[in-house]
Amino acid sequence: MTDASAFTPSANVAQLKESATIAVSQRAKALRAAGREIIDLGAGEPDFDTPAFIKVAAQKAIDAGATKYTAVDGILPLRQAIAAEANRRWQGADKVTAAEVVVSTGSKQSLFNACFTLFGPGDEVLVPTPAWVSYLEMVALARATAVPVMGNPERGFKVTVAMLESAATPRTKGLMLNSPSNPTGSVYSPEELRAILTLAHERGWWVLSDEIYLRIAYGSPASSALDVAPSRERLVVVNGVAKAYAMTGWRIGWTISSPQLAAAMTAFQSHTTSNAATVSQHAALAALSMRTEADAAVTSMVAQFEARRDAALAILRTEPRIHVLDPKGAFYLYLRAPGAGKSASGSDAGGAFATHLLEKANVAIVPGAAFGTPDWVRVSYAAEQAQVEEAMRRLVAAFRELA
């Protein structure tokens, strides 16, 4: 028998909450394993298989001996390919070099490396809200203070320069940006992004621009910070292969920053995980360098995401009381739960709705409390269209029952 009282968490993690997005998908998997037919619209994970040309490149790399350690910050050809892609956007004289790129085990590790290396006690970091669940925890793990900046739902929850200015203090050290956004699907226009990056530059804030959904945009392409920033000073661009290339399990992400910050993050990573998996780096290299194949794969997947989005929205709009944002990118729908705003503050309408849907309708979605907005819920439409449509019909029925 083990003594349950033998473990008390350290101060580092005493306040830590597990990732709600991961928890929802684990629960959906467990219920499926127990025989329930769950439609999982929880975690944001493309249902597509990794494109064949990427898998072939990885198999060839294994046969050629890609089974050993690499440089901590990643293989040079991959870092060069990432720099080349960045330079197709960045027009400044200070071209991006491979020395400014650090490859990590997923963009989650890249974001954590950046937060931990840049922020510390006494620092405040502005977090446009609703925000992806892990930003707040990463800032807290760095012992800095996350300052949520609530967006306006009428503008897809996007924040403005004025909102950021009023949340800032002399302690503000950084700003998290995420466009296209998880969980809202909102996309900042080039002008909106430029205005925010200009403010950050003037104030000397570090900007962590999480661009993991950059290639998943509908109508017009989404802008990278590298398209519009007045300067790359104090700019950290974070991206990876997981979402655009359906490569979640390969775990490859990266940062593009300065040689000095890259060196510091590499030193940090040399003590935590060392290099990202070698074969995965070769797979990512194929995704970034075999551009004809990659572009065809991305175009096809984005077209399917768009068709699912449209089909899902058409069903949701049959119920006029459902307030759903109009997403321009990523693969999420964000909507207000029934009963939202009706009860006392501290209520969790989104959590109640998500629980009801899972227990009564076998549909897994993520409560908006995970993202700082408890009245809302997030639906991922990165699943087969027929499943998305069936889930939306059940959601509408449940909404009518509870509203």
Contact between 132 and ligand GLU per CB under 6 A:
yes
For 400, other C-beta atoms within 10 Å of its C-beta total 12
Using CA atoms, how far residue 331 sits from 192, 300, 302, in Å, is 21, 14, 9
- Interface stretch with ligand GLU, choices 41-49, 92-100, 159-167, 306-314 (CB under 6 A): 41-49
Helix (H) or strand (E) holding 284: helix 278-289
Phi, psi at 333, each rounded to 5°: -110, 135
Alpha helices in 34-106 (DSSP H): 52-63, 76-87
The residue with tokens 């780096």 is 281
- Counting residues that bind ligand GLU (by CB under 6 A) gives 11
- Taking CB under 6 A as the binding criterion, the range among 39-47, 90-98, 292-300, 340-348 that sits at the site for ligand GLU is 39-47
Stretch that binds ligand GLU, among 17-25, 157-165, 231-239, 304-312 (CB under 6 A): 17-25
Q: Is 45 or 123 the residue whose CB approaches ligand GLU more closely? A: 45
Is residue 16 within 8 Å of residue 141, measured between CB atoms?
yes
Q: Does 26 bind ligand GLU (CB under 6 A)?
A: no
Q: Does 43 engage in binding with ligand GLU (CB under 6 A)?
A: yes
Residue with tokens 């900007």: 207
Would you count residue 21 as binding ligand GLU (CB under 6 A)? yes
- Which residues in the 91-110 window bind ligand GLU by CB under 6 A? 108
Nearer to ligand GLU, 184 or 269 (CB): 184
Give the contact letters, 190-229, x = binds to ligand GLU (CB under 6 A), - = no: ----------------------------------------
Does residue number 331 form part of the binding site for ligand GLU (CB under 6 A)?
Answer: no
Instruction: Calculate ∠ Cα 393-396-398, nearest 5°.
Output: 110
Cα torsion angle, 233, 235, 241, 244, sign: negative
| Site residues (vs ligand GLU, CB under 6 A) | 19, 21-22, 43-45, 108, 132-134, 182
